[in-house]
Structure 1
Amino acid sequence: MKNLKKISIFTLTAFAMLLLSSCDDTTDKFVVSETDPVTLSDLTITEIELDAFNTNNPAVTFNWTEADYGQQASINYSLELSADEAFTNSVIPATVNGNNTVTLSVSELNNAAGNAGLNPFEWATLYARVVSNLGTQNGLPVSSNSISFNVYPYFNYVFNDYYLVGDATAPNWNNNSNNPALYRDENNSNVYYYTGYFANGHFKVIETKGQWHPQYGTDDGSTFWGTTATNSSPEPERFPYGGGDGIPEGFYTFTMDFGNKTFTFEPFNADGIDSPTSLSIQGSSLITTDMTPLDFDGHIWYALSVHLVPGDLTFSADGTAWGSTISFSGVATANGGNIPVVVEDDYDVWFNDLTGRYIMIPLNL
């Protein structure tokens, strides 16, 4: 047994000396150097008209030479697109590792063009380049040459829209009876509001008029969840929460945050806020169109299936123009500017004279 212990001690000592020796060995340092820029090839086509009906089809393929950082390393390539040659506000629609080609689908190129600032239904120039870098920290980035091509994007409506239903609301439990729309926040597309009169009762939120699913409700009074388009069981409980007689009638502000699935339901003081005697939509986007107040709550105005063309509009309340500079949904103020209309379509338009909030929901995009 003593001999075995001596052998073990000798073996461990020799292993420690070998480990120390290898730690001092600096002959195999991993050294990389900055690569020359890769070369992005010109495209075989220079004009690409995007088809809104075949969005999964390939639209364009980019090819480039391989980077050389002097070692066998994990090389990333980021495709960068921009509306200007200086790549001031560029977008990155694709990143690949160890590959020197990437194909964008119609929808991917259309989204990138929109995010880069190109207008829909207009020919415009996009610039492209490839940035190579190393590893998870994106070290030693080097940009390629840039190329350009012309693209004709279609419009991509990226927002969701939501409607009230329930015995506390105007349509009662009818899911297809001019259900009032929630108003999307102008800065955070996850947040929606509705300020107005609620009767004694409960309500839920639906995503598509005439369909019960998806629908949203609460099981605990502070968070909410929703069903899918095909899931009908189980379903969430009704807002604001609980059974019995429901909420007392009155004016409230209902807020939903789809980012964290929370909501609030707070009393709103509507005293002293008078509705205009008349409200219309006017501007270069349409023939002047009168809006109608809900019988249930005269502060909520609507005009359905209004045909709008690219241009602008304002809400005329007893002769005063109420507007903003934000498309689709925002807060209008007296003499607050012209609301841009960026794409032609038929719209349901809603306006709340308690808050100035408006939403224009395209019906065919």
Structure 2
Amino acid sequence: MKNNFIYKLSSLILLIFIGIGCDDNAETFTVSDGTAPTLTSIGFSEIELDAVNTNNPAVTFSWQSADYGQQTAVVYDIEFANDQDFTNPVIASSVTGENAVTFSMGELNSAAGNAGLNPFEWSDLYVRVVSSLGTQRSNKANSNSLSLKVFPYFNYVFNDYFLVGDGTAPGWDNNNNNPALFRDASDENLFKYTGYFSNGQFKVLETKGLWQPQWGTNDGTSIEVNPGGGDDPERFPTAGAANITPGFYTFTINFATQNFSFEAFDANGITSPSSLAVQGSSLDAPVALTPLTFDGHIWNASAVRLKPGDVQFLANGTDTWGSDTSFSGIATNGGANIPVIVEDDYDIWFNDLTGEYILVPLNL
């Protein structure tokens, strides 16, 4: 009887202790949706960016902190857009627990270009601050927006890539008029090359005359890179030593997804023009393009000086081919003139199998 009483008493004390312990730890960490940050006026309405002193400060954006009801680290993304609805915003900078960001001339120029502002013209740049919590960017809250007119200088934001290898026109020579891959006009990470490949293999280079950065494949599916100082990857299109069966193929490579494909292309019935030239207001006189001996469907002209204006391709002396996208795109018969937005020397490539073109600046 005594032992039973002691047992019950001990159990009661234990339950009380557990109950007290649970009460002590019952406080819940609660975060509210947050009061949005408030972006402060910058005190001026326009800025012409300096292409010479690119490290000089251009503008400082500051804001009042967001309030999430707790003492917690808040992430702030400074977003730029070329419209007040922020249809396609870009994150120009990110900070944690701070209330201001200063952009140099070069940083503001790059960010404005990424937001869609054209060089050498006054355009509205819209700015806002988006607060959030943690690496998942949860509980987002948008500040008010500001706008200022910006006059950017030119910033070439693209990378260009070239073929090398015994399955291609230049062979294993990294500076032999290596054909350029054709960049997708709407996706700067997506490139294609449709043309003839011989009994061999190939790799992709970023700079003619240099072996790195160099892209290849080690598994036959994904791409690998030696940026310099590492091991070179295996050759496209397979991970082994198998050579290409000579013929026409489309090589597609995506530097964002790290994938590639190599597929047969039916070139039957596609006849190359008897002549091809580039003409337009960007030139003092038309310049003839020359087809590769290796593959007559691939045309090029080297170091062509182009001024701001436009160009089009003239086939057979009568048919004009063009598109409305600068630097790269797909030309069509009777299409728009191709915009040239900055003066420079360009290597010009045209593929009469697909209508793809690319203008590669040499000094930007």
TM-score by length of 2: 0.84
For the residues of structure 1 that align with 2:20 and 2:162, how far apart are their CA atoms? 73
**Contact 1:183/1:329 (8 A) holds in 2:** yes
- Residues 267/141 of structure 1: CA separation in 2 closer, same or farther (3 Å cut): closer
Q: Which amino acid aligns with 1:79?
A: I
Q: Secondary structure at the match of 2:14?
A: helix
Q: Which amino acid aligns with 1:40?
A: T
For the residues of structure 2 that align with 1:353 and 1:100, how far apart are their CA atoms? 54
Structure 1 unmatched runs, 5+: none
Structure 2 unmatched runs, 5+: none
Say which is worse superposed, 272-281 or 122-131, in terms of deviation.
122-131
What is aligned with 2:115?
A: 116
For the residues of structure 1 that align with 2:31 and 2:219, how far apart are their CA atoms? 58
Deviations 1:161-201 (A, max 9, x none): 11111222211111111111111123332222111122222
Matched, 1:277 2:274: yes
C-alpha displacement of 1:37: 6.8
For the residues of structure 2 that align with 1:37 and 1:211, how far apart are their CA atoms? 48
For the residues of structure 1 that align with 2:327 and 2:127, how far apart are their CA atoms? 30
**Contact 2:39/2:143 (8 A) holds in 1:** no
What is aligned with 1:352?
A: 351
What is aligned with 1:305?
A: 303
**Pairing 1:174-189 to 2, within 5 Å after superposition:** 174-189=173-188
**Contact 1:50/1:106 (8 A) holds in 2:** yes
Matched, 1:49 2:48: yes
What is aligned with 1:238?
A: 235
Q: Secondary structure at the match of 2:187?
A: coil
- Residues 73/213 of structure 1: CA separation in 2 closer, same or farther (3 Å cut): closer
C-alpha displacement of 1:22: 6.9
Say which is worse superposed, 277-286 or 94-103, in terms of deviation.
94-103
C-alpha displacement of 1:264: 2.1
Q: Secondary structure at the match of 1:189?
A: strand
**Contact 2:301/2:347 (8 A) holds in 1:** yes
For the residues of structure 2 that align with 1:137 and 1:210, how far apart are their CA atoms? 43
**Contact 1:35/1:142 (8 A) holds in 2:** no
For the residues of structure 2 that align with 1:239 and 1:29, how far apart are their CA atoms? 54
C-alpha displacement of 1:138: 5.0
- Counting aligned pairs with the same residue, the percent is 56
RMSD: 3.3
TM-score by length of 1: 0.84
- Residues 190/131 of structure 1: CA separation in 2 closer, same or farther (3 Å cut): closer
**Contact 2:32/2:69 (8 A) holds in 1:** yes
For the residues of structure 1 that align with 2:96 and 2:11, how far apart are their CA atoms? 48
From 241, 245, 257, the counterpart of 1:260: 257
**Contact 1:78/1:130 (8 A) holds in 2:** yes
What is aligned with 2:290?
A: 292
C-alpha displacement of 1:360: 0.9
What is aligned with 2:169?
A: 170
**Contact 1:214/1:227 (8 A) holds in 2:** yes
